[in-house]
Amino acid sequence: MSEMLILVNAYLRKAMVLILFLVIGLVAWALHLMQQAVESHEFSLMLAGFLVSSAAAALVGVYFLMGHYVGYMSDMTQRSYISEDMSGWTVSVEDYPSWIESSPRIAQN
């Protein structure tokens, strides 16, 4: 299970880098369209630049959402390692009363 989470985490990080490059490209394209719109006094180019910049802003939102999701998946991977390593630290329900009675700290109180 943890190997699969590590693999998913690696793919998500690659997707985040791809989204970041897409956003940079979209912003550059939007600025180019808006510069052409100012030079040629074209409203349609300004509208196209605005739409492209809106798409870039939406991708930034997706980037931040994926960043939180990758952090969550990384945390889940670490938790799976902890649960595998500390399986001997758990006490079953049947052993609980005998564990309480044999504990010197609780017996003193």
Q: Which of 22, 47, 19, 23 is nearest to 33 (CA)?
A: 47
pLDDT digits (tens, 9 = 90+) for 11-30: 777 888 888 899 999 999 99
Judge contact between 42 and 36, C-beta under 8 A: yes
pLDDT higher at 100 or 47? 47
Across 95-100, average pLDDT: 59
Residue 11: predicted pLDDT: 79
Whether the pTM exceeds 0.85: the reply is: no
User: Rg of the Cα trace of the chain?
Assistant: 27
Judge contact between 75 and 82, C-beta under 8 A: no
Q: List the chain domain ranges.
A: 2-108
pLDDT higher at 103 or 1? 103
| Residue with tokens 């699969």, as numbered in its chain | 4
